[in-house]
C-alpha cells in the first residue's frame, strides 16, 4: 500500500517539502529538489517518537490512498548541490548563496527523530487540498510547554506552499497572515488542512486551519499568497 | 561594557527570548523564564560562526549601550520546570502540557552553534524599539541556498514579541502578517527593526522590517498583534 502511494506521487512530481524527484525527464519543479545526495530515508513514515494520534491519522489516510482519492507525500532531508543553480536562475532578485551550502538541510527535517518537526502530508488532487499531520517535538518550545509561534508558522508555510506548488509548479511565499487562537501543547498531534482558494495569473491564494487531532479545537488559521516563479521574471 | 549592559537588562526584567530573570522579587513576566536549570552560557554573544557583518553590528550596538540609550539582551537555552505552572495559570484556554517537557528547549536556541538561529537583540526603551541582528545557519534552509520562510517568521515573531513584552509584560502572539519581498541567502546577516505602534487595552500592535546588513535591501515586512496575558482572562 505504502509503495503504491509513493509511486503515484512520483508520477506527479510534486517536490516541496523535500519530496523525491520523479523518474524520467524532470521539469523545473522536479529539479528544484533533485540531488545526488538525497537520503534514502523517508522521514514521512512513522517512527517511535510518533504519538498514538499521529499514527492513527497516518493509517487512516494511507487507507484513503488505496482508492486513489488521496496521495501520500514522501519527504527527505536533502542537501542541495546542482539544484541551487536551477533555483537562482528563477529568482532574478535573489543574491547568490554562499559557502554554507555544503552543510545545508531542509529546515523542517533538520532535527533528529522526535526532537523537532514530525509530520506527514497527503494531497487530494480533485479537491485542491493538502493535509498535514504534525507533531511538534520538545525543541520547538516557545512559552513553557507549548509550541513556538514560529514553529507553527513554519509548518503552515510548508503545507500552504505544498498546496500551491501542486497547483502551479515552483512557488515562493509572498504573504502569510496567521491568526493564533490557542497555544498548541508540545508533543500533541495537530491537523493542518489547506486548500487552494484562487489562482490569478502567477498568484496562488491558499488558506488553512490548524486543529487538534479530534478536530474539536481550532488552534490557528491562516491565509497566504504564493507567487509562481518563472525564469527572468521579478518576484514582486 | 558587556557586563554593565547585561546588568541594566536585569533591572528591567524583560524575559522573552530566554533572557535571564532579574534578581529580587520576580513578577509574572520575570517568572515565565525563571528556572533552576538555566544555562550560564549567554547565546547572544559572538561565536566563531558569526560572520563579519554580524560581529560589526554587535560591536556597534554594544557601543550604543554605553550611554544607556540601548540595552543588550542576553539570551539562554533554557529548560523550564516550575515556570510551566506559572504559564498555564495565565492561559485559561490552554490544555496542560505533557511528558515532553523534560527535554524542552527554546526553539530559537535549540541548534548547536552556527547551524540554526544566531542572533542578538538590543532594545531602546525611550523609542519603544527592539532590534535583532540575525544570521540563519545551514539547517534553516527552504529553497536551495536560502532561508525557509518559517525561519524568518520565527525570528520576526521572537523580535516582535520581545518588543511587546518590554512594553506590557507577558504576551502571546495573536496575529502575524508577513510579506516576503526577496529571499534571504543562507548565512547572511540581516537586521530586524521593530517598534511598538499602538497599545489598546490588552492589545499591542507591533511592526518590523527585515533588511540586509547594509540596510539597502528590504527582504521582509511584518505587522502583528500581541495580547497581554492576565490570570483568568481568555486569549480571545
- Annotate chain A with three-state secondary structure: CHHHHHHHHHHHCCCCCCCCCCCCCCCHHHHHCCCCCCCCCCCCCCCCCCCHHHHHHHHHHHHHHHHCCCEEECCCCCCCCCHHHHHHCCCCCCCCCCHHHHHCCEHHHCCCCCCCEEEEEEEECCCCEEEEEEEECHHHECCCCEECHHHHHHHHHHHHHHHHHHHHCCEEEEEEEEEECCCCECCCEEEEEEEEEEEECCEEEEEEEEEECCCCCEEEEEEEEEEECCCCCCCC
SS3 per-residue string spanning A113-174: CCCCEEEEEEEECCCCEEEEEEEECHHHECCCCEECHHHHHHHHHHHHHHHHHHHHCCEEEE
Q: With beta carbons less than 8 A apart as the criterion, state whether B213 and B57 touch.
A: yes
Position B193 pLDDT exceeds 50: yes
Position B107 pLDDT exceeds 90: yes
Q: Is residue B154 part of a domain?
A: yes
Instruction: Residue A102: give its domain's CATH number.
Output: 3.10.129.10
CA dist., res. A69 & res. A152, Å (int): 27
pLDDT given at position B183: 95
Q: Which residue of A has its CA nearest to B159?
A: A150
C-alpha cell at B131: 532590534
- Please report which confidence band the pLDDT of residue B76 belongs to, taking 50, 70 and 90 as the band edges: confident
* Radius of gyration, alpha carbons of chain A: 17
CA dist., res. A22 & res. A34, Å (int): 9
Q: Is residue B174 part of a domain?
A: yes
Name chain B contacts of A203, Cβ cutoff 8 Å.
none
Name chain B contacts of A189, Cβ cutoff 8 Å.
none
B94 closest CB neighbour out of A87, A95, A146: A146
Q: Is residue B100 part of a domain?
A: yes
pLDDT given at position A138: 94
- Please report which confidence band the pLDDT of residue B103 belongs to, taking 50, 70 and 90 as the band edges: confident
- In sequence order, which residues have a C-beta less than 8 Å from that of residue B200 and are 6 or more positions away? none
pLDDT given at position A230: 85
A60: closest CA of chain B, how far (Å)? 25
Segment B25-43 mean pLDDT? 47
Segment B51-71 mean pLDDT? 96
How many domains would you assign to chain A? 1
Marked catalytic residue, from B67, B86, B93, B157:
B157
CA dist., res. B69 & res. B204, Å (int): 23
- Please report which confidence band the pLDDT of residue A41 belongs to, taking 50, 70 and 90 as the band edges: confident
Strands A117-124 and A71-73: antiparallel
- Please report which confidence band the pLDDT of residue A102 belongs to, taking 50, 70 and 90 as the band edges: confident
- Please report which confidence band the pLDDT of residue B86 belongs to, taking 50, 70 and 90 as the band edges: low
Q: Is residue B23 part of a domain?
A: no
Choose, out of B34, B53, B140, B144, the residue to mutate when testing the contact with A (most A CBs < 10 Å): B144
C-alpha cell at A29: 519543479
pLDDT given at position B77: 76
Q: Is residue B234 part of a domain?
A: no
Q: Which residue of A has its CA nearest to B173?
A: A180
Q: With beta carbons less than 8 A apart as the criterion, state whether B78 and B37 touch.
A: yes
Segment B94-114 mean pLDDT? 78
Q: Which residue of B has its CA nearest to A82?
A: B144
Q: Is residue A234 part of a domain?
A: no
**A120-137 residues labelled b (16+ CB within 10 A) or e (exposed):** bbbbbbeebbbbbbbbbb
B84: closest CA of chain A, how far (Å)? 5
Query: Nearest-5° angle of CA A172, CA A131, CA B179?
Result: 30
Name chain B contacts of A172, Cβ cutoff 8 Å.
143, 180, 183
- Please report which confidence band the pLDDT of residue B94 belongs to, taking 50, 70 and 90 as the band edges: very low
A131-190: pLDDT as tens digits: 999 999 999 999 988 999 999 999 999 999 999 999 999 999 999 999 999 999 999 999
- Top-confidence residue, A113 or B7: A113
pLDDT given at position B93: 44
Strands A189-200 and A218-228: unpaired
Segment B103-120 mean pLDDT? 95
pLDDT given at position B112: 94
B208-223: pLDDT as tens digits: 999 999 999 999 999 9
A80-100: pLDDT as tens digits: 444 555 555 555 444 444 556
- Supply the range of the domain harboring residue A173: 2-17+28-228
- Please report which confidence band the pLDDT of residue B40 belongs to, taking 50, 70 and 90 as the band edges: low
Residue with cell 497547483: A167
pLDDT given at position B83: 54
pLDDT given at position A84: 54
Could B80 and A142 be called an inter-chain contact, meaning their C-beta atoms sit closer than 8 Å? no
- Top-confidence residue, B52 or B3: B52
Position B33 pLDDT exceeds 90: no
Least confidently predicted of A1-10, A154-163, B184-193: A1-10
Segment A75-82 mean pLDDT? 61
pLDDT given at position B230: 85
Segment A42-46 mean pLDDT? 94
- pTM higher than the cut 0.80: yes
B154: closest CA of chain A, how far (Å)? 4
Q: Is A157 an annotated catalytic residue?
A: yes
Position B79 pLDDT exceeds 80: no
Q: Is the ipTM here above 0.85? A: no
CA dist., res. A87 & res. A132, Å (int): 25
Query: Nearest-5° angle of CA A83, CA B192, CA B46?
Result: 85
C-alpha cell at A175: 504573504
- Top-confidence residue, B206 or B32: B206
A182 closest CB neighbour out of B93, B155, B181: B93
Percentage with pLDDT > 90 across chain B: 67
pLDDT given at position A192: 98
Q: Which residue of A has its CA nearest to B177?
A: A177
C-alpha cell at A69: 482519492
Segment B1-21 mean pLDDT? 36
Q: Output the average pLDDT for chain A.
A: 81
Name chain A contacts of B176, Cβ cutoff 8 Å.
149, 153, 176-178, 180
Name chain A contacts of B156, Cβ cutoff 8 Å.
150
Closest CA to B172 of B228, B230, B111, B106: B228
Q: Is residue B235 part of a domain?
A: no
A169: closest CA of chain B, how far (Å)? 13
CA distances from B201 to A229, B152, B168, B228, B233 (A): 43, 29, 10, 9, 13
Could A106 and B142 be called an inter-chain contact, meaning their C-beta atoms sit closer than 8 Å? yes
Amino acid at each position: 500500500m505504502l509503495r503504491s502511494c509513493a509511486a503515484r506521487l512520483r508520477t506527479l512530481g510534486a517536490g516541496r517539502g523535500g519530496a523525491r524527484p520523479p523518474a524520467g525527464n524532470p521539469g523545473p519543479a522536479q529539479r528544484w529538489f533533485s540531488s545526488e545526495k538525497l537520503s534514502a530515508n523517508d522521514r514521512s513514515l512513522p517512527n517511535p517518537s510518533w504519538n498514538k494520534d499521529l499514527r492513527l491519522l497516518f493509517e487512516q489516510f494511507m487507507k484513503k490512498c488505496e482508492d486513489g482519492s488521496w496521495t501520500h507525500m514522501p519527504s527527505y532531508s536533502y542537501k542541495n548541490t546542482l539544484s541551487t543553480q536551477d533555483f537562482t536562475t528563477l529568482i532574478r532578485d535573489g543574491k547568490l548563496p554562499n559557502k554554507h551550502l555544503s552543510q545545508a538541510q531542509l529546515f523542517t527535517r533538520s532535527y533528529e527523530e522526535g526532537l523537532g518537526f514530525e509530520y506527514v502530508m497527503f494531497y487530494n488532487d480533485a479537491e485542491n487540498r493538502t493535509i498535514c499531520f504534525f507533531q511538534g517535538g520538545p525543541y520547538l518550545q516557545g512559552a513553557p510547554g507549548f509550541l513556538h509561534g514560529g514553529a507553527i508558522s513554519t509548518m503552515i508555510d510548508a503545507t500552504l506552499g505544498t498546496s500551491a506548488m501542486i497547483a502551479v509548479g515552483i512557488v515562493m511565499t509572498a504573504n502569510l497572515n496567521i491568526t493564533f487562537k490557542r497555544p498548541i501543547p508540545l508533543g500533541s498531534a495537530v491537523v493542518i488542512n489547506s486548500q487552494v482558494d484562487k489562482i490569478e495569473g502567477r498568484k496562488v491564494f491558499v488558506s488553512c486551519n490548524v486543529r487538534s487531532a479530534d478536530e474539536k479545537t481550532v488552534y490557528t488559521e491562516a491565509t497566504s499568497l504564493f507567487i509562481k516563479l518563472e525564469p527572468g521574471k521579478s518576484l514582486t
